Structure 1
């Protein structure tokens, strides 16, 4: 039995992991799906100050007294998960990044890619990044119903997308499994590719899109379980 802590990406809350969590619990694991401040049922609890989402993760693991944790971050959540992992590395068994961004010291989620449109959208929506339009989820292996669920989720607090990451130690010495979803591009982003040169980082590919917790929840649960054994 392993404790999995699951953190979904932009716009999403703990609810996004429901199907994956059911698979993991059915296999005998404990699952703690976490909603970050400002999202889903925590929308009223707006992120307070820098590093708010990092604190959300660290404080939840410490509050539950978890050890030997598999910490999972999807998409945007890779940024706070990677920083949290550095702070609680003595409690970790492994980190799993699911088609995720990874933190780079001094850079934000929006650094390193053309983000002018996102920044403009945040400014136009009172500091929040609204979910994409249904058309922008095409080609990701999602059904119309799954797309509707994501589109209907919470606007994402913009400050968490623009604040710089803070890392005191490199991530390449953490035990990591990186899951690349091939419908969202064949190659990992440059920051990930550099970290994958470490012998402590492992690449796994899935033939699905950027939201595998919806498109292939059973297969994703298998990938997460395999990370426990280091397979």
Structure 2
């Protein structure tokens, strides 16, 4: 028999699992919900400090009682904050746990507090500086749950119930570092990704391909993944689907990621889909210039990669085939092309990445071979949020802004929804700036949603947007296998950008 132990996240308690637990039980599983002190479990005593260790002890008590009573295979499920006490307990009872399920949660590490996983960056800063009430962090108001994750899929009644039953989160549970011996690393793992709240499997695979060390463990064959097309509270928005996924996870099924160190190069390092000849290239600092024939001055296209890209990734993006391919093609068509390395290594790095890009643009404009009044900026993928500054206040010399398969609004799990890097909001101030948007028809759902949101906002304000569709294209299609459709889209996009540069 499979025995599920379900650990709820911040502010919530066993009640959130009611419908999911009922469905699991109906399927023949044994289900226990861990009642954490102050969150549906016992009330803290006068003067008692409730911290992460308190909640780990709560989960251990359930594990120990189950191990004695049933002897079944224990699957420990941690949602949101709940993965921290779940992992802490599993580390001390590793031989008793058959599998750990990370339900729309992060990857806690030894020595790191749960606060690091709080999506709202401003809230993290407030708590670090001593925010919150003595009794704990007050639960969100009904309209503020999105600070903790996407509420997509929640009915009005579910949101009302979530708000009414929420309890203050003891501050010590968020501030005390998690301590792991390493024993838990031997336990098989399943990740359930809620794609309306954060990345899906394809995006996680991209991060593995980029070589991020902290992500490489996810390609272990003992690690499986599932997706749910919902927000951060699937036990409330789609309990039947969640119960089905948990049953599949318990059986060891699910998607397995491909390791990055295989003989085949990762997708981002495969050849560009067009056969473009080499061009003269000059490297200065973080910027490479690809030069056309003739003395100039020539219009210029500044190509900006996406991310986040691990700081230690080699080669760096300006040497990736997609960007060298576009740069050579643009230079062969008579414009200067510039590729830029910037410091977008985490979702919190957009500010310094924007500084890097702005400095590179000025460096390009200052080159005597460049017509400083005819510049296009071309952003890719996770570089999309960097367009916001340029959309909000386009300078006269910016003749075109292009984006390929971009992220155009922060994903809820980034915790930067109120930051300046929000192109959907910025496009209303773009005026007559021409925009070329290359849209992949097989885009990841979470990214495609931001593109559609952007196009809706652009239509509302009358922005000048030309969409170049690649119906069968995927994210990063330029190196994922050449097709006539994709080649045509690349040529059309380059022609559209250059036409606006020379108009």
Aligned to 1:203: 225
SS in 2 for 1:11: coil
Higher relative contact order (CA 8 A, sep 6+): 1
- Corresponding residue to 2:137 among 108, 129, 134: 129
Q: Please, what TM-score do these two structures have when normalized by structure 1?
A: 0.89
**Greater CA radius of gyration, 1 or 2?**
2
> Tell me, what secondary structure is at the counterpart of 1:110?
helix
Q: CA deviation at 1:155?
A: 1.0
Question: Residue deviations 1:81-133, cap 9 Å, x none?
Answer: 1121111111111111100133211110112663113456x734224112222
Which residue, 191, 195, 213 being the options, matches 1:178?
191
Aligned match of 1:58: 60
User: Is residue 225 from structure 1 mapped to residue 247 from structure 2 by the alignment?
Assistant: yes
Give the TM-score, by structure 2 length.
0.43
Count of aligned pairs between the two proteins:
230
Name 1:109's counterpart in structure 2.
Answer: 114
* Offset at residue 40 of structure 1 (A): 2.3
Secondary structure of 1:103's match? coil
C-alpha displacement at 1:196, in angstroms? Answer: 1.2
Extract unaligned runs of 5+ from structure 2: 254-503
Q: Are 1:141 and 2:141 counterparts? A: no
Task: Compute the displacement of 1:48 (Å).
Answer: 4.6
Counterpart in the other structure of 2:76: 71
Aligned to 2:90: 85
**Change in CA separation of 1:49 and 1:230 when aligned onto 2, cut-off 3 Å:** closer
SS for the counterpart of 1:205 is strand
Bigger shift: 214-223 or 83-92? 83-92
What are the superposed Cα offsets for residues 191-224 of structure 1, whole Å, 9 maximum, x if unpaired? Answer: 9744312221112111001000000000000011
Whether the 8 Å CA contact 2:21–2:31 is kept in 1: the answer is yes
- Greater Cα shift, 104-113 or 215-224: 104-113
- CA positional deviation for 1:73: 0.5
Distance 1:112 1:33 in 2: 23
Contact 2:139-2:167 within 8 A present in 1 as well = yes
CA distance in 2, matches of 1:192, 1:142: 32
Question: How large is the RMSD of aligned CA atoms in angstroms?
Answer: 2.4
Please state whether the residue corresponding to 1:214 is helix, strand or coil.
helix
SS of the counterpart of 2:250? Answer: helix
SS of the aligned residue for 1:40 comes to: coil
**d(CA) in 2 for partners of 1:145 and 1:210?**
16
Mapped to 1, the partners of 2:33 and 2:42 lie a distance apart of 13
Contact 1:70 1:92 in 2 (8 A): yes
Cα 1:48/1:185, change in 2 over 3 Å: closer
The alpha-carbon distance between structure 1 residues 170 and 93, as it changes in their structure 2 partners (threshold 3 A), is closer
Query: How far apart in 1 are the matches of 2:247 and 2:213?
Result: 25
Q: Is 2:153 the partner of 1:150? A: no
How far is the alpha carbon of 1:157 from its aligned partner? Answer: 0.7
Residue 137 of structure 1 and its aligned partner are, at CA, apart by 3.5
**1:144-175: CA deviation from partner (whole Å, max 9, x where unpaired):** 11111122211111101100010111654320
Mapped partners of 2:248, 2:63: distance in 1:
22
Once residues 36 and 110 of structure 2 are traced to their aligned partners in structure 1, the CA distance between those partners, rounded to angstroms, is 21
